[in-house]
Amino acid sequence: METKTNLSSDTLARLQQLIRINIDSEKGFDEASHKIEDKQIATMFVELGRQRANNALELQKFVEWNRESAVTEGSYIAALHRAWLGVRGVVGGGDSHSILSEAERGEDAIKHAYEEALIATAGSAMNDVLTHQYANVKAGHDRVRDMRDQFVGNTTQTSKWD
């Protein structure tokens, strides 16, 4: 029987994937929060980045309790996405809607990763933790989407993309 200190290799692999995508998300929000001039959006990005960092830390503890080394870095693909976010910010004039649209794409990815993990680990000892984190991720996704929708048609430059 699986317990939180005796997780299956499949569950541990899913946790490692979620750790990586949370690290990626935190880095993306951190970078964007420093470059966007709209204080309301920057504040939201800081909050969501902090939440993603906390998710990663919580999952890392469970991996380590299972005598495994938890991943501590994001993925190469996320670095490409952050680079694309920078390009999109420049090409799109750095407007809030374009930046929030790219942030929502990242939120779609993390939301999808949690959905897959919840299906793959149904009945796992980690289900309560993953369900709680998924609820926070989905709420964050919805905040980004709703804020993006507030900026439809707004092409005022609001970022400092280099």
List, for residues 82-118, the tens digit of each pLDDT value. Answer: 554 554 554 445 678 878 888 888 899 899 999 999 9
Domain boundaries, given as residue ranges, for the chain: 9-150
Neighbours of 85 (CB within 10 A): 22
Q: Give the position of tokens 């680990």.
A: 121
CATH T-level fold of 9-150: Ferritin (1.20.1260)
Q: In angstroms, what CA-CA distances link 64 with 5, 24, 45, 82, 131?
A: 9, 20, 28, 29, 20
Tell me the C-alpha to C-alpha distance, in Å, between residue 50 and each of 26, 42, 95. Answer: 7, 12, 24
Mean of the per-residue pLDDT values of the chain: 85
Cα distance between residue 11 and residue 32, in whole Å: 31
Phi, psi angle pair for 4, to nearest 5°? -65, -20
H-only helix segments in the chain: 9-35, 39-65, 76-91, 96-120, 127-150
pLDDT tens, residue by residue, 113-155: 999 999 999 989 999 999 999 999 999 999 999 999 998 765 5
Task: State the pTM of this model.
Answer: 0.85
